[in-house]
Amino acid sequence: MVDHFLASCESEQLHLSGAILPHGCLLVIDAGGLISHVSANIAEWLGGAPDDWIDQPLPEVLALPVQKLAAAAGSRLVVANVMPAMQGRSMQAFDLVVSRNVDGGMTLELLEHVSDALPSGQVFSIAQTLADQAAVSAAQHALVEQIAEITGFQRVMLYMFRDDGDGEVIAEARTGEVYGSYLGLRFPASDIPQIARTLYRQNPWRLIPDASADPVALLSRESALPDLTYSDLRSVSPIHRVYLANMGVCASLSFPLVIGGALSALVACHHKGPRQLSLGKLSLASQQVRNHAMSMTDFQTRQRMRIIDGLTHRFDNARQMLQRHGNIVSAWPELGAWLMQEFHADGASLCLDDQSVNQGLGFETNVLAVFDHWFQSSLGESVWTSDSLMRQSPEFPLSEIAGVLALRVKLVSGRWLRIYLCRRESIHEVSWGGNPDKPVEFHDGRLGIAPRHSFEKWVEKRLGYSLSWDHETRLLALKLRELLLQEIRF
């Protein structure tokens, strides 16, 4: 049932929702300069029925600022204080957001102008050099405090994505009005499906001022739905609306933390009641997050370079062992013990053709035969890790080994050498934000999976897992593979 939930979330075309949030008005301009789609509430914003707008060029009061933006760089461009007086409507200031579409057209979003004062300059921070992990942690907690002060949201969290796709709250700021803390809690990958993560990465923020508000349809004379990838007015997924309601959240705001081109985390903001923010505050908060991303990118780059610089020295002992023994099989008792220490493994197995040698807690004979065949025939990766073989391969035999780092090298002779670094089960507890298994419910008479009702701390005693393999370990494995290619000639 959980697999069905994941599939339904991933198949939901969020950018093709065909509707918007009701706090704004939207128009889509095709490549020929004519209006192809309008939101059904256009009369409330600009006057005139939807049919009066479709297939027409933009009126001059909107066309002029759009023309100025058309030559500017960027996919999402903002102009504030546009004041169209249309169809007898009184003068009222709007904020105009223009996005370029992949088909050559544009999307226009009109928002009511909010003239709230920005926080003092003391809130603003610039990218900084982070010396160590303690400085990183301090910067993360400072970030959520800053975003809370700028936005006024009652709960602000730094929600970090793990390698397995799950998320974990690693920093949190909240007011006295908010009950409970999510700090340290983990959330399953299905809470934020991949399609939603892609949209987060492509936009500076995602604001939902009132998740309970009904969406407004987009109208057109054509059947194709417009691509709302870059529209912040894009309506909310029905599943996400239920999810927020179950958390007691009415307004939601998220900023992507992008490091190395990948979505590393979200700064997620929650509020019990409706909350609208000015573009000025959203832009300021977004800049804070980007500054933090720059600091983290610099820190991770320096950490990676430090590790790489030290790898050659760390592998000098292994090179000397191979040279002293002349071949890896006779060197294995010494080399295997060294690898166990370097990789924090409980055992190491060497496979060359049909020959295998174990050091420490290696695979049992029958288990090794099954895993070795699967690794060679099913995976195309040269370095592969798992912290739960039983869950990643249901046919994996019962074994004392729970996790493995697997490495293979094709030697100059054409023979395949495989090394398996093994870790035994390490029983540990994981604190979840509610039971991660989705409840089964009936919706409109049909059985389906729904977002869970409770997000109270739920502790799982995790069985069948080893200690996880980190990024540094993978760098070590790649260096080991390079060493084997250089030193083994048979």
Using CA atoms, how far apart are residues 5 and 188, in angstroms rounded to an integer?
Answer: 12
Least confident window among 57-61, 309-313, 445-449: 445-449
pLDDT-based confidence at residue 3 (cuts at 50, 70, 90)? very low
**What is the reported pLDDT for 91?**
52
Mean pLDDT score, 2-24:
71
What does R_g of the chain's alpha carbons equal in angstroms? 28
Task: Tell me which residue of 93, 96, 16 sits closest to 64, measured CA to CA.
Answer: 96
Query: What residues contact 224, with CB distance under 8 A and at least 6 apart?
Result: none
The label of the residue with tokens 């009005």 reads: 177
pLDDT > 70 fraction of the chain, expressed in percent and rounded: 87
Task: Tell me which residue of 278, 207, 209, 217 sits closest to 20, measured CA to CA.
Answer: 217
- Residue range 74-120, pLDDT digits in tens: 566 666 666 654 544 555 678 888 888 878 888 999 998 877 776 66
Mean pLDDT score, 39-62:
91
DSSP string, 339-364: HHHHTT-SEEEEEETTEEEEEES---
Mean pLDDT score, 223-241:
91
Q: Which fold has domain 19-112?
A: Beta-Lactamase (3.30.450)
Q: Beta-carbon neighbour count of residue 48 at 10 Å?
A: 16
Output the pTM of the full model.
Answer: 0.83
- Residue range 336-346, pLDDT digits in tens: 999 999 999 99
Average pLDDT of the residues of the chain: 85
Tokens of 424: 């035994």
Q: Beta-carbon neighbour count of residue 272 at 10 Å?
A: 16
Homologous superfamily of domain range 115-216+225-306 = GAF domain (3.30.450.40)
pLDDT greater at residue 80 or residue 227: 227
CA distances from 197 to 175, 194, 205 (A): 27, 5, 12
**What is the reported pLDDT for 94?**
83
> Is the pLDDT score of 440 beyond 70?
no
> Any idea where the domains of the chain sit in the sequence?
19-112, 115-216+225-306, 315-427+464-487
Architecture of the 315-427+464-487 domain: 2-Layer Sandwich (3.30)
Which conformational region is residue 87 in: left (phi greater than 0), alpha (psi within -120 to 50 degrees), or beta?
A: left
Mean pLDDT score, 240-259:
93
Which conformational region is residue 157 in: left (phi greater than 0), alpha (psi within -120 to 50 degrees), or beta?
A: beta
- Residue range 136-151, pLDDT digits in tens: 999 999 999 999 999 9
